[in-house]
Amino acid sequence: MQDKIGYSEAFDELQKIVAEIELGEISVDELSAKVKRASELIRICKAKLTSTEEEVDKILKELLDGE
């Protein structure tokens, strides 16, 4: 399932999940689902960061090659 949320939304949701876990606000019944969701959010954030890094590298290369 590919989420269509942006980096900021994914990061914010991930921070909320971590805070809930740290504060003990998640029941044992919910823990597995929250950890699975956190894993999905981490994957989304990582993909966005990698994509952005590649795009910036491409732009910088084009700028340097144009000099």
Domain ranges of the chain: 7-65
Contact 48, 4 (CB under 8 A): no
pTM above 0.85, yes or no: no
Q: What is the pLDDT of residue 25?
A: 87
CA-based torsion, 59, 60, 63, 66: positive or negative: negative
Contact 3, 40 (CB under 8 A): yes
Q: Is the pLDDT of residue 67 over 90?
A: no
Dist. CA 46–CA 19, nearest whole Å: 20
The mean of the pLDDT values for the chain is 92
- Taking CA atoms, 6 is separated from 11, 58, 60, in Å, by 9, 21, 24
Q: Is the pLDDT of residue 66 over 80?
A: no
Which of 9-18, 47-56, 57-66 comes out lowest in average pLDDT?
57-66
